[in-house]
């Protein structure tokens, strides 16, 4: 029986991955991530001003709900219509929504727009991950995903800080329109990129009809489980960091995202090739354990010092987790259904973030004082701990499978008369 190895040892450097198409994709991802992330720290206060304080947990949950639901469709379209059109559609949604926020001034109008906005991250990252897997060697996927994530992280880092600055010094409307402009620039770059899918089809509405086997890719089940457990923490962070920052007297609510993203950038620069050399599972097991530590620190963050320490530790974990999970999924996927596998992985991401956001919002509103915040981060730590255990089991199982194959090879060599 052929066993698909998940434990990868040292590999050769292989051909260069730093092509023009790759750099264009990186810049487009920077603009895209900055576009939707710059408004995140300000949205809870904005919704509260509109009279929707009890719906704060839905800001992220509705966004991720649509993103998750759209993933199977984006996976199929990525494998049929092409990578570039799907990426461009995701940026287009960001452009339209950013432009419309200032004109929908009711709670339900705002929440409806958040629901639509989720289509952006439900489409572009799926096609982006498939595009990267197309244009880089398999032995350097971890490095490529890390470099792409470097630009994405820079957008996630600068976006919230820029958004808070624009909202404080100018207005919320200026922030929304700037977000829209960033998305428009992202589209312009994408239109100059060559398509990597060989046999493309023109879009037709019949492609939106999904068969049962087109919704979920079984090859991506292990990354799905891990990411579902990990991403609950990100939902809690997105929902609660604004509240925690205010309680600690930190006025710029976007600075946490800046600090943790800078730490993630450091991790991706220094350790970009670690999972290519030593395997996805060893790296993920260690980095998920670091995620557990970061959530414990946030639960204990009663001073700015612990708060910033938690941001750094969380960034270290995120900087290694994200590109490694993406590369792991690409390793497991069949080439013909790579988009579907990436979509399956991202379904877990959106589901985990959405559940984490709703649960954290509920705990915040139903538990007195800081208890709700602390409970959310403790729960995040427990789920990340479960992911660590699962990864450790997979790592052990894969090592045993490789050991079995090695022993089998030794026996065959002896039968052939070799020493």
Whether the Cβ atoms of residue 240 and residue 367 lie closer than 8 Å to each other: no
Question: Over the stretch 159-194, which tens digit does the pLDDT of each residue have?
Answer: 888 888 888 888 888 989 999 999 999 988 888 788
**Distance between CA atoms of residues 155 and 151, nearest Å:** 6
Q: Is 301 helix (H, G, I), strand (E, B) or coil?
A: coil
Question: Over the stretch 57-80, which tens digit does the pLDDT of each residue have?
Answer: 777 778 878 887 888 888 888 888
pLDDT (0 to 100) of residue 182? 93
Average per-residue pLDDT for the chain: 81
**Distance between CA atoms of residues 189 and 254, nearest Å:** 27
pLDDT (0 to 100) of residue 1? 34
Tokens representing 123 are: 């489409």
| Whether residue 207 has pLDDT greater than 60 | yes
Show Cβ contacts of residue 104 under 8 Å, excluding neighbours closer than 6 positions.
Answer: 110, 112, 113
- pLDDT bucket at 272, cuts 50 / 70 / 90: low
**How far is residue 67 CA from its own chain's centroid?**
12
> DSSP secondary structure string, 359-396?
HHHHHHHHS-TTHHHHHHHHHHHHHHHHHHHHHHHHHH
For the domain made up of 20-195+216-415, give the CATH fold: Growth Hormone; Chain: A; (1.20.1250)
> DSSP secondary structure string, 153-185?
HHHHHHHHHHHHHHHHHT-HHHHHHHHHHHHHH
- Ranked by mean pLDDT, which of 61-75, 216-230, 238-252, 263-277 comes out on top? 216-230
In the chain, domain spans: 20-195+216-415
> DSSP secondary structure string, 243-284?
HHHHHTT---TTHHHHHHHHHHHHHHHHSTTHHHHH-HHHHH
Tokens representing 276 are: 């290519």
Question: Over the stretch 369-383, which tens digit does the pLDDT of each residue have?
Answer: 678 888 999 999 999
Show Cβ contacts of residue 148 under 8 Å, excluding neighbours closer than 6 positions.
Answer: 22, 25, 26, 29, 128, 132, 323
DSSP 211: P
Of residues 224 and 64, more confidence is placed in 224
Closest CA to 373 of 256, 245, 230: 245
Closest CA to 118 of 314, 404, 354: 354
Question: Over the stretch 303-362, which tens digit does the pLDDT of each residue have?
Answer: 999 999 999 999 999 888 888 888 888 888 777 777 788 788 888 887 888 889 889 888
| Whether residue 295 has pLDDT greater than 90 | yes
- pLDDT bucket at 12, cuts 50 / 70 / 90: very low
| Cβ neighbours, 10 Å, residue 37 | 25
Question: Over the stretch 69-124, which tens digit does the pLDDT of each residue have?
Answer: 888 888 888 888 888 899 999 999 999 988 898 888 888 888 888 889 988 888 88
CA distances (Å), origin 280, targets 70, 158, 326: 27, 29, 10
Tokens representing 83 are: 């990578």
pTM of the complete model = 0.70
Question: Over the stretch 274-284, which tens digit does the pLDDT of each residue have?
Answer: 877 888 888 89
| Whether residue 4 has pLDDT greater than 60 | no
Question: Over the stretch 137-160, which tens digit does the pLDDT of each residue have?
Answer: 777 777 777 788 778 878 877 888
């Amino acid at each position: 029986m052929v066993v698909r190895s998940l434990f990868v040892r040292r590999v050769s450097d292989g051909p260069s991955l730093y092509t023009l198409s790759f750099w264009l994709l990186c810049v487009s991802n920077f603009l895209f991530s900055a576009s939707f992330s710059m408004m995140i720290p300000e949205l809870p206060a904005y919704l509260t001003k509109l009279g929707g304080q009890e719906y704060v947990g839905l800001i992220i949950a509705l966004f991720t709900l649509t993103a998750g639901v759209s993933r199977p469709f984006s996976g199929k379209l990525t494998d049929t219509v092409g990578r570039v059109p799907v990426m461009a559609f995701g940026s287009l949604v960001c452009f339209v929504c950013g432009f419309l926020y200032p004109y929908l001034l009711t709670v339900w109008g705002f929440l409806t727009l958040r629901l639509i906005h989720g289509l952006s991250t439900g489409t572009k990252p799926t096609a982006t991950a498939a595009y990267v897997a197309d244009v880089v060697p398999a032995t350097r996927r971890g490095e490529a995903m890390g470099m792409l994530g470097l630009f994405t992280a820079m957008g996630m880092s600068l976006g919230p800080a820029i958004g808070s600055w624009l909202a404080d010094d100018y207005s919320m409307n200026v922030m929304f329109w700037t977000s829209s402009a960033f998305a428009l620039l992202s589209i312009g770059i994408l239109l100059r990129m060559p398509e990597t899918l060989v046999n493309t089809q023109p879009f037709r509405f019949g492609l939106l009809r999904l068969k049962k086997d087109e919704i979920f890719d079984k090859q991506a089940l292990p990354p799905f489980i891990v990411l579902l457990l990990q991403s609950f923490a990100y939902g809690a962070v997105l929902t609660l960091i604004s509240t925690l920052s205010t309680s600690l007297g930190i006025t710029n609510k976007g600075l946490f995202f800046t600090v943790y993203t800078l730490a993630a950038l450091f991790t991706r620069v220094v350790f970009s090739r670690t999972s290519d050399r030593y395997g996805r599972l060893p790296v993920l097991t260690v980095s998920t354990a670091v995620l557990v530590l970061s959530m414990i620190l946030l639960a204990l963050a009663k001073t700015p010092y612990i708060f910033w320490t938690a941001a750094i530790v969380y960034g270290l974990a995120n900087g290694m987790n994200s590109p490694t999970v993406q590369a792991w999924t690409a390793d497991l996927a069949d080439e013909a259904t790579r988009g579907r596998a990436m979509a399956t992985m991202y379904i877990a991401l959106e589901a985990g973030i959405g559940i984490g956001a709703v649960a954290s919002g509920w705990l915040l509103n139903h538990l007195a004082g800081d208890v709700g915040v602390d409970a959310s981060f403790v729960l995040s730590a427990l789920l990340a701990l479960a992911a660590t255990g699962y990864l450790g089991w997979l790592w052990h199982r894969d090592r045993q499978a490789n050991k079995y194959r090695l022993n089998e090879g030794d026996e065959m060599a002896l039968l052939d008369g070799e020493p």
